[in-house]
Structure 1
Amino acid sequence: MDFIQLLFEPVYLLVAVIVVLSFLYIFNGKRYTNLPPGPKPLPIIGNIFDVRGKGALYEVALNLRQKYGDLVRLQLGPNSNVVLVMGQEKIFKAAVTMNESFKYRPTNFFVTNYIFNNQGLVFSNGDVHATVRKFTLNALRDFGVGKRSIEGRIQEEAVILSEVLEKLDGKPAYHLDTFKMAVANIIAGIVYGSRFEYNDPTFTDLIHKVDAIFKELSLFLPENFLPILRFLPGSKISKVFGIFKSLEKYAKGRIEEHRETFDPDNIRDFVDLFLKNEGGNGDDAINEANLFRLIVDLFNAGTDTTANTMSWAIIQLIKNPEVQKKCRKEILEVVGTGRSISLDDKKDLPYLQAFLNEVLRYSTIAPQTVPHSVIEDTEFEGYTIPKNSVVIFVLFTMLMDKDKWGDPDNFRPERFLSEKGEFVQDKEHFAPFSLGGRSCVGKFLAKQELFIFLGTLIQRFEFKSPPGSPPPSIRRIQTGITSQPEKYDICAVPY
């Protein structure tokens, strides 16, 4: 056998395995005659060419929507159904009205089994998810979300963040990683009872690993539908799995530190509370394996999204200097410069609240939800969604709905203000944190962080483009789960 034959032998083997698996899927699978509309799938590979290389998932969805409507079915791999749900009416019906049918996470979606294994908060199901979600919501409430204690932590971190920016004295710099450190320190305070220094190499490493997860994970990874591909060199799922294991190793070390000093009569933080409840009340899900995964989930979900929202906000302040002036004028009139902005100021800062909502709407940090699933054949809008289908709610179609918002492509905070200048929030179409039983458990914390962090920054700095540079781009970059702005240096000029 010559060199060329040796080179291609694994490819021939892979093709043979795919063909065999495909026939097994085809002949064992249930045939449906009333599926949602969508492009015709090819044998074995399905609609992979209709999605790969066609842009971000929400862009693929928007293009398909023009031809097939608000409900689109794709087949990825030999026999994996993916249903895209678009538009406020249909998303609300599925996520809220029919939550009991659509509340599940996929179990035949390879990454959910290989990496998450029905543990933690984001990708768990059944009793595990119910127990962990309830515990998390109660713990977040106990450790200050919505209370003075967490407000003080955010205010302190906002001052530290401001001091970091002040040292640059208005020189151009890229601040996304710094924003991530500030936000991650709020999570660290809740979970571990302590914060990190921004120059701590361990902290920097953790931030980079969280960032890598968000950039590498994607619904369209071929390994999700042809799992054997994970054994090929360069597999992204194998890379992400390694990152998760590294993050869990760190979390385990911190948990062991807590065990050594644990006092059930002195609960210091989230980990202590978990240890106090471990194995109690018959809740098998309150165990160390779920604690590892839950901590990783909290840092992953609570860091990248909020920090990216802060970056989008700064970009909009630069592109819309009149908005920046209005925000600061309002803050100075209500708060002044002698104290920190507080949550009590919200009612007196309607324009700042409108600005934050418009950032969340316009930037659409999460253009689509984390994958949902149905565990049985489900009738929806006159179609059958097959059992175990992956279901994606495309939130972009709500947040950028022209019929609702009129001019969604324009950044206009006034859309969240009444004629009297009062803050008004649309609850039907404004769902940046998703909706229904799987909405983000950290949405209240995220809103508090955005209000205090950004309010403090606007109070203390004028944000500008570097001298001679063009305005920042508002093009969305979706390399994985979230939409990020293009990398851009900014000048934070202290007042």
Structure 2
Amino acid sequence: MATVWEWLEFLFREIGFGTLLVFTLVFLLVLFSISIPHTDIPGPFALPLVGNLPLLFHMGKRRQKGYFRLQKKYGNVFRLFLGRRMLIILCGRKNIHDAFVRHGMQTSNRPDWLFDHQSKIKHGNLEPGIVLSNGHIWRKNRKFAVQTMRDFGMGKKSLDEVITDEARELCADIAAYKGKPIEKIKDLLSVSVSNVIHSIVFGYRCPHDDPDLLTVIRAIDTLFKAPPIQLQILPKFIQNAMGSTFDARQKAKEDIGEYLEMQIKDHEKTFDRNSLRDLVDQYLAEIPWEKDIKEKILMMYQVVLECFAAGSDTTATTLEWAALYMITNPDVQEKCYKEIRKVVGLIRDVCYSDKSDLGFLEATVLEVQRLSNITVTTIPHSSSEDLIISGHVIPKDTMISPFVSSVHMDPELFPDPDEFRPERFYDEKTGNVINKDTILPFSLGPRICPGETLARTELFTMLGNLIQKFKLSKVSDDDRPSLESLSGIVSHPEPFRLRAEPRES
């Protein structure tokens, strides 16, 4: 019987390599054309087998610019192919609202295959958390996390007090520089922000130099600098060129798993079902006690990771952008400072309860969220039935993702959208915040971020205290910090440095 190599040798000899190559390409094109969903939704040409993955690879860390080019060419509803899987990108506030609010129940699922690529750690296969789960599991885990954050502080410090305390610690860390250049403000921000969620998840705060906490923070930063989840089906060597490397992410997951194992063991030693202290205790109360430590890790890992990540990296990155905008817009910073000095003074700390009297500071936070666009697109949703959006039929079981930046940078909503102008959200006559519902920093609809209230409180309180206590500036007049963003799971600024000079009290 002829071997494969003998057949190939025969084909090369009888019909030639060129003919065989053309035949193979035609065969692949036909195979691809009959295996992909057919749609009238416009989009770029998709290659056989790989679809538009090379285009997304070419965008690299400049995904926002690439999506704007596609929006300009194809309109406010366009499609991409991830291999043979179709992804619909929705642009503009009306289309996004139609899909995720008006049709919210039909678009609240996640594609099942997304979690399959995230579910393995050395302990085994994880159970779904909140972000990538569906149905009953999603509703249960989301309610569980929201209730834990809501009930935090009962019988002890309130969440607002914990955040204010961490803002004070952050300012102490910055004061230690004595006005000298700070090369990585994100490192300082991450520790304080992470300590807030650490108190909710594990029941206590850590010293800012705690090596275990710093390891977890670095691990989460590594995970958030990865390519978007939907692109993590690519070969490892391609992923490595688009963000943090595959091996680095695996190591990060292991570091988080080891920390969670340590926390579970410590919690079990002092567990009291009648006095639940934090999210881990809440979980231990739900999990059958006889399960071994590895099973408990697999059940808890994803929810703990998502709560920790949602309550740390995204907020710290937004504050990093805020610091960048303050040093590049000193007039805005000074206006915030004057408002704080008038309303709060310089003796006590800025608290979230001051928000109603610090309208310009709140407007500044909203403008930071608008212009930074830390989520260019969200994790894809999946349609549970056929939908019609802007005249286009989106078939059942199709991935859909909102291009959030298309709203935040819409010149009809925000004239001169590249300019940093908190006045977009501030009424000078009344001192009230306006238009806050025009932006989507936490998404919208059933899948809106469950940590929205926590994040808003942290952003307002920490930025307010930074401005109250320090004048943030460029290190020198020659510094030209870039305002371009680098896209990962969240978009972060290019490295910059700043100086924080203590204000005179």
Shorter-chain TM-score tier: 0.7 to 0.9
Identity of aligned residues (%): 34
TM-score, normalised via structure 1 length? 0.87
Deviation at 1:437, TM superposition (A): 0.9
Q: 1:135 aligns with which of 125, 144, 148?
A: 144
SS at match of 1:216: coil
Cα distance change on mapping 1:434 and 1:230 into 2, 3 Å? closer
Report what 1:486 is aligned to.
494
Letter paired with 1:111:
H
Deviation at 1:413, TM superposition (A): 0.8
Matched, 1:364 2:369: no
Residue range with higher mean Cα deviation, 244-253 or 291-300: 244-253
Report what 1:76 is aligned to.
82
Equivalent residues of 1:251, 1:292 under 8 A apart: yes
Report what 1:395 is aligned to.
404
Equivalent residues of 1:217, 1:236 under 8 A apart: no
Deviation at 1:31, TM superposition (A): 4.9
Separation in structure 1 between the aligned mates of residue 131 and residue 441 of structure 2, nearest angstrom? 17
Q: Deviations over 1:332-375 (max 9, x none)?
A: 11111211112221111111111111111111111211222224
Equivalent residues of 2:111, 2:381 under 8 A apart: yes
Equivalent residues of 1:119, 1:293 under 8 A apart: yes
Matched, 1:39 2:44: yes
Within a 5 Å distance, the mapping from 1:236-255 to structure 2 comes to 236-237=245-246, 239-255=248-264
Report what 1:218 is aligned to.
228
Matched, 1:50 2:60: no
Report what 1:5 is aligned to.
none
Equivalenced residue count is 467
Matched, 1:102 2:107: yes
Consecutive unaligned residues of structure 2, counting only runs of 5 or more, are: 1-23, 290-294
Separation in structure 2 between the aligned mates of residue 251 and residue 424 of structure 1, nearest angstrom? 41
Q: 1:59 aligns with which of 58, 65, 68?
A: 65
Report what 2:13 is aligned to.
none
Separation in structure 1 between the aligned mates of residue 172 and residue 358 of structure 2, nearest angstrom? 24
Equivalent residues of 2:484, 2:493 under 8 A apart: yes
Report what 1:417 is aligned to.
426
Q: 1:266 aligns with which of 275, 278, 283?
A: 275
Report what 2:457 is aligned to.
448
Deviation at 1:302, TM superposition (A): 1.8
Cα distance change on mapping 1:226 and 1:257 into 2, 3 Å? same
Letter paired with 2:425:
F
Equivalent residues of 1:102, 1:373 under 8 A apart: yes
Cα distance change on mapping 1:41 and 1:135 into 2, 3 Å? same
Deviation at 1:378, TM superposition (A): 3.9
SS at match of 1:265: coil
SS at match of 1:403: coil
Matched, 1:188 2:187: no
Cα distance change on mapping 1:260 and 1:326 into 2, 3 Å? same
Matched, 1:206 2:231: no
Equivalent residues of 1:170, 1:494 under 8 A apart: yes
Equivalent residues of 2:222, 2:244 under 8 A apart: no
Report what 1:470 is aligned to.
479
Report what 1:85 is aligned to.
90
Separation in structure 1 between the aligned mates of residue 201 and residue 53 of structure 2, nearest angstrom? 40
Letter paired with 1:449:
E
Residue range with higher mean Cα deviation, 417-426 or 23-32: 23-32
Q: 1:336 aligns with which of 345, 353, 359?
A: 345
Report what 1:11 is aligned to.
none
Separation in structure 1 between the aligned mates of residue 215 and residue 33 of structure 2, nearest angstrom? 48
Cα distance change on mapping 1:371 and 1:25 into 2, 3 Å? farther
Separation in structure 1 between the aligned mates of residue 90 and residue 426 of structure 2, nearest angstrom? 29
Separation in structure 2 between the aligned mates of residue 352 and residue 229 of structure 1, nearest angstrom? 42
Cα distance change on mapping 1:379 and 1:416 into 2, 3 Å? closer
The alignment's C-alpha RMSD in Å is 3.0
Deviation at 1:218, TM superposition (A): 2.3
Deviation at 1:380, TM superposition (A): 3.4
Separation in structure 1 between the aligned mates of residue 145 and residue 173 of structure 2, nearest angstrom? 32
SS at match of 1:361: helix
